[in-house]
Homo-oligomer: A and B are copies of this chain.
Amino acid sequence: MERKKATNVVYHRESVTREAREKLTGHRSFTVWFTGLPASGKSTLAMATEQRLHKNGCSTYVLDGDNVRHGLNSNLGFSPEDRQENIRRLAEVAKLFREAGVINLTAFISPYKRERSLARSLAGADDFIEVFVDCPVEVCEQRDPKGMYEKARKGIIKEYTGISAPYEVPESPEVHLRTDQLTVDECVTKLIDYLAEKKLISVE
């Protein structure tokens, strides 16, 4: 065995480029950032959009409370600092997925403009699609699948977005979906049409 060959081992680093990944998958990689009130339909739309993209042959992944809050961010609570760190980590993970060539869809309330701006700032101009999942709080409260709005109204949960904590409405989201007026399928179609129009994906 010749030692010299192997001592070079640390010098020849070459990562697979994002372009090479995009050539393999046949599509661009980007983040679709769903934001909206609790029970506005973020996770549902993220998953339904993912289903549609997957059927179209795209490499995809949904980041939401179920897989992020219970894993990577399980050591974070709901204080302002922890909420900010929650979104910071999420934005960094979204960046890793973009670099990996995966279309990632995030479904978090993300009520503050500054945290959505942070997430956007980590992405290239065409790599961040902010989707405002818009639904009147009254309708969200009627849905209330986890009984959280009820608990917030009773004061059992403090600082609940839409009831006792603010939600800062996006001023210029790339896509605006009214989930009280459109069906899930209609919302997904509107979003997919946007992505195709921007040539981020090609729809068969």
Contacts and interface: CB of A to CB of B under 8 A. Distances in A.
B11 A145 contact: yes
Contacts of A179: 6, 9
Interface stretch (A12-20, A123-131, A191-199): A12-20
Contacts of A79: none
Contacts of A154: none
A201 interface: no
Copies in the complex: 2
A44 interface: yes
A47 B96 contact: no
B24 A59 contact: yes
B100 A54 contact: no
Contacts of A181: 1, 3, 6
A158 interface: no
Contacts of A142: 7
B100 A3 contact: no
Contacts of A44: 9-13
A109 interface: no
Contacts of A184: 6, 9, 12
B13 A47 contact: yes
A50 B10 CA distance: 15
A92 interface: yes
A18 to B, nearest CB: 11
Contact of A61 (B10, B12, B100): B100
Of A13, A48, A50, A143, which is in contact with the most chain B CB atoms at under 10 Å from its CB? A13
A164 interface: no
Given A13-B43, A47-B15, A61 B6 contact: no
B51 A16 contact: yes
A180 interface: yes
